[in-house]
Amino acid sequence: MKAGGRTRRRRPPRAWLGALPLLVFAGLCFGLPAGALLYGAVTRTDPASGTTELTGEHLQRSLQGPYLTSLTGSVELSALTAAIATVFGVLIAQAVVTSRRGALRGAVLTASGVLANFGGIPLAFAFVATLGISGVVTQIGHLDALGWNLYSFTGLTVIYLYFLIPLMVIVVVPALDGLRPQWREAARNNGATAWQYWRHVGLPVLAPSLLGGFVLLFGSAFAAHATAAALVGGSVPLVTLKIADALSGNVLVGQENVALALSLDMIVIAGLVMAVYLPLQRRSSRWLH
């Protein structure tokens, strides 16, 4: 909001009708599933009699034992990969933005667009073929002697970075483009070192985009499922894998409600991340106006 903003134009009556299709669509496609999820997470239906009652049992179970471990495992993996990808993404993007070659920029952005959307089983198998136990790179570089194991927390971290770093590049390039060269020149003319320029001008201006990027990456990593499922089965506890096990397996029966409760936990965690991010962003976006 700009201070002393223009007077608001009076909206014609019934203008909200124009937004109605969007509201209906959002209500159906987002509200209904979320409502069903909430309902399933806090109720229990007795299969024999068909009666439904309120219960906190599913939520309680979703915060215990292996389910709790999977939640913390997911948060750890997502936070770690998002943080690393934020740093590397910004460095690569800055290199691209400051390079004088248009071709390089085009190539990097195109490649990032492709890689950011590379996921699921194909990605898992690509890594198995290159960095798995009998993978090409593993064999040539004798990585197993160095203790490399793709099927571990570390292995998953590397794979997640493979699509998170390009995603960060895409997100942050426009923001870096927005840093005006005049600011740097002004800082230099006033005797600022490069470090001082970044510390007092560059990073504060970029902060909202960096934070936003981090939140986006965290969400991407947090919600990823197929790659991890194909690679580590149950050996790295992740909440998305637990939800899949409980929801659609051939082994466990009657765990659907716990799966819904786990999904609710995920929504809460995502909400908490946003709750931390929004005030920070508001604080740091002051410099942009």
- Sites of contact with other proteins (CB under 8 A): 12-15, 17-18, 20-21, 24-25, 28, 47-48, 65-66, 69-70, 125, 128-129, 132-135, 144, 150-151, 229-237, 241, 244-245, 247-256
Q: Which of 170, 152, 164 is nearest to 123 (CA)?
A: 164
Strand partners of residue 253: none
Q: How far is the CB of 260 from other proteins (least distance, A)?
A: 13
Shortest separation between residue 232's beta carbon and other proteins, angstroms:
5
Nearest distance, CB of residue 183 and other proteins, angstroms: 22
Amino acid at the residue 86: T
Whole-number Å distance between alpha carbons of 275 and 281: 10
Which one, 17 or 275, has the nearer CB to other proteins? Answer: 17
Question: b/e map of 101-119 (b: 16 or more CB within 10 Å)?
Answer: eeeebeebeeebeebbeeb
- Residues for the chain: how many in total? 289
Amino acid present at 33:
P
Q: At closest approach, how far in Å is the CB of 66 from other proteins?
A: 5
Q: Is the CB of 62 or the CB of 112 nearer to other proteins?
A: 62
Radius of gyration of the chain (CA): 24
The two structure tokens encoding residue 7:
């007077």
Shortest distance, position 1 Cβ to other proteins, whole Å = 20
Nearer to other proteins, 208 or 237 (CB): 237
Nearer to other proteins, 54 or 253 (CB): 253
In the bound state with other proteins, the residue whose beta carbon lies nearer, of 63 and 111, is 63
